């Protein structure tokens, strides 16, 4: 029995498929069949990393390059672990530039734009994972 939920994620009773707007290859390689771990990390991202991202933007606006570097460094792994590897790469570039106190505004603008587009995708993916896990228990 296959069905397609409202975010385009194909699921069946025995497998879970990540949203194709995320880095599916990375997610499948990392989580393999352990969707419970994915659920934990998606929750962590939405409950902690999102808040850190706004702190990161505030630090950027106040030209606190040291804090920008620190926060970027902390956030890179969680962006990867929810399949936002493109943003993780930009954060890695920004981390390097912040260390050198280079001009960061255009890079931050790009990251911020991608982040705003990604949050609903991650939120919907978290919901799809939760729904999948609940179906597996029954």
pLDDT of 6 strictly over 50: no
- Domain assignment of residue 89, yes or no: yes
- Domain assignment of residue 1, yes or no: no
- Domain assignment of residue 17, yes or no: no
Handedness of CA 99, 104, 110, 115 (dihedral sign): positive
CA distances from 118 to 62, 87, 125 (A): 24, 9, 10
Residue-level pLDDT at 109: 87
Query: If you average pLDDT over residues 38-64, what whole number do you get?
Result: 93
Give 68-104 pLDDT, tens digit per residue. 889 999 999 999 999 999 999 999 998 888 777 667 7
Residue-level pLDDT at 1: 29
What string of DSSP letters covers 67-83? HHHHHHHHHHHHHHHTT
- Domain assignment of residue 97, yes or no: yes
Poorest-confidence range of 27-41, 43-57, 85-99, 102-116? 102-116
The SS3 assignment for 16 reads strand
Length in residues, the chain: 138
- Domain assignment of residue 12, yes or no: no
CATH of the domain at 85: 1.20.120
- Domain assignment of residue 80, yes or no: yes
Residue-level pLDDT at 53: 94
The DSSP 8-state label assigned to residue 48 in this structure reads: I
Output 16-20 pairs: Cβ under 8 A, ≥24 positions apart.
Answer: 16/128, 16/129, 16/132, 18/83, 18/125, 19/83, 19/121, 19/124, 19/125, 19/128
Q: In which band, very low, low, confident or very high, does the pLDDT at 9 lie, cut at 50, 70 and 90?
A: very low
Record the tokens describing residue 88, joined without a space: 């993780």
Question: What is the Cα gyration radius of the chain?
Answer: 16
pLDDT of 105 strictly over 90: no
- Domain assignment of residue 9, yes or no: no
Predicted TM-score (pTM) of the model is 0.81
| Domain containing residue 91 | 22-137
- Domain assignment of residue 14, yes or no: no
Domain count of the fold of the chain: 1
pLDDT of 4 strictly over 60: no
């Amino acid at each position: 029995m296959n069905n397609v939920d409202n975010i385009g994620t194909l699921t069946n009773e025995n497998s879970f498929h990540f949203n194709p707007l995320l880095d599916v290859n990375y997610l499948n390689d990392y989580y393999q069949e352990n969707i419970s771990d994915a659920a934990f990390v998606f929750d962590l991202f939405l409950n902690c990393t999102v808040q850190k991202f706004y702190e990161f933007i505030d630090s950027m606006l106040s030209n606190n390059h040291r804090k920008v570097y620190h926060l970027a460094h902390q956030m890179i792994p969680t962006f990867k672990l929810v399949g936002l590897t493109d943003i993780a790469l930009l954060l890695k570039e920004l981390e390097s530039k912040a260390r050198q106190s280079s001009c960061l505004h255009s890079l931050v603008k790009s990251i911020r734009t991608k982040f705003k587009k990604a949050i609903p995708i991650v939120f919907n993916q978290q919901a799809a994972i939760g729904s999948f896990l609940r179906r597996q228990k029954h």
